[in-house]
Chains A and B, each alone.
Chain A
């Protein structure tokens, strides 16, 4: 028989106190390990980019054109490695080191494109393509416009 007068046992920890318990029991992010790995992975990616710049320069391209061609090559490689299912593994290891370079940007466009293709090319790929990169584009472009405007006024 259900006894409605029975006292209900309650947790003796309040939601407030629980927040300190969470801090105590949640493992800290491995910052030093992540920073070192990001430095190595990011460094390697940028070195590869530099190799392409030098290579294209040796083909007779001017400095600016060579770096544009190298950027395009790196974007292609980032997209290719995403398609082959390798870039997410690099990202897991390298963290910011593989997100910040242009290859990471390629990854953040190609990954949603692959993921949402099953929902069709319009409402899938088309609508979801910028789910990851969208905020970077919106605020990156806005910032560059503002900075460009300030630069224009100062000169």
Chain B
């Protein structure tokens, strides 16, 4: 058997797993954004009648995962593993959703990169022969993130121009070993890169080097160039982080061309006043489960790379003066 590991950090799947279905739910602000019509469901308010933001987020994740199962019309018993993650301490949104889903559960934490990480790990489980169907889901919620990482939600404070807005959203995909749909052909697992950024209001800048490093390694490992992809989307670098990642890659001899964008830039428009764009696990997951997969299925995109970007700090580490370690995980999806 030939090794599926290629180059330094990449895996290429022998029998690429299929994305059987996908489902996305977002909050009202995301629903009003430019991608509003691409989501399966838009909540009218971010609490959705629950007693806390945390319960609302967990229910949202659960609903997204059930949505993906229903769309594929696959009996729940056939799902071998559930992979999920979120931003809250001890990934409670995922744990509590898993309590209801009653599936063998692997909790993941890759901060905002968790969707790409989940798809990469899920695909490895399938192509490795350990599973036939794997359900992947992640969530984030603006208000749960605000109160954990920043200030109480009703506090009257101004946000920095480089700050990003955490997406209220949950996205899920169901991966299968056989069937019709877009396929996950390869994945590049990122290294933790820390370029000594300490500003928690400039997370894009903290994550950009990790994303750039993963992109550089992916193309090196696969012997490909950016033009070989119709779309390369980073997870949630925002406008500032995207510009920095472009510059870092350019100075490292890689011109990304015009197909390089960022889910955090796509999901809101200028008038929504989010400053640098969006962030959160939900961001890349709903853009992938909505817009990107729809465009792949419509034949408008042939080969897409999603580079989930994560800032691996905590409020405690930031207060203690530690810099923000970043990570980027890439998955390649082909129509």
Contact = CB atoms under 8 A, between A and B. Distances in A.
Interface of A: 1-3, 6, 8-13, 15, 18-19, 21-22, 25-30, 34, 82, 85, 87-92, 94-95, 98-99, 104, 107-108, 110-112, 114-116, 118, 131-132
A91 B156 contact: yes
B236 interface: no
Given A11-B212, A11-B216, A27 B154 contact: no
Nearest to B254: A9
A29 B160 CA distance: 7
Contacts of B156: 82, 87-92, 94, 98-99, 104, 107, 111
A15 B195 contact: yes
Contacts of B155: 88, 91, 107-108, 111-112, 132
Contacts of A108: 155
B110 to A, nearest CB: 20
Given A13-B252, A26-B162, A132 B152 contact: yes
B220 interface: yes
A115 B3 contact: no
B73 interface: no
Interface stretch (B32-40, B92-100, B242-250, B290-298): B242-250
A3 B223 CA distance: 13
Contacts of B158: 34, 91-92, 95
Interface of B: 2-3, 5-8, 51-52, 147, 151-162, 194-197, 202, 205, 209, 212-213, 216-217, 220, 240, 243-244, 247-248, 251-253, 276
Contact of A3 (B2, B7, B244): B7
A contact face: mostly helix, strand, loop, or mixed = helix
Contact of A12 (B8, B160, B252): B252
A2 B188 CA distance: 13
B161 A25 contact: no
A91 to B, nearest CB: 2
Contacts of B196: 15, 18-19
A26 B202 contact: yes
Contact of B216 (A9, A85, A94): A9
A107 B153 CA distance: 11
B8 to A, nearest CB: 6
A114 B52 CA distance: 12
B152 A112 contact: yes
B217 A82 contact: no
A99 B205 contact: no
Contacts of B5: 1-2
Contacts of A95: 158
A110 B216 CA distance: 48
20 contacts: A2-B5, A2-B8, A10-B213, A10-B252, A11-B212, A12-B251, A18-B195, A22-B205, A25-B205, A25-B244, A27-B240, A29-B160, A107-B154, A107-B156, A108-B155, A111-B151, A114-B152, A116-B152, A131-B152, A132-B155
A132 B209 contact: no
A98 B2 CA distance: 65
B161 A29 contact: yes
A11 B248 CA distance: 7
B152, B153, B216, B243 — most chain A CB neighbours (10 Å): B152
Given A8-B217, A29-B161, A104-B156, 5 more contacts: A1-B3, A15-B196, A18-B196, A26-B202, A112-B155
A130 B259 CA distance: 48
Nearest to A107: B156
A132 B216 CA distance: 42
Nearest to B7: A6
B154 A85 contact: yes
A30 B5 CA distance: 49
Contacts of A118: 51-52
A31 to B, nearest CB: 11
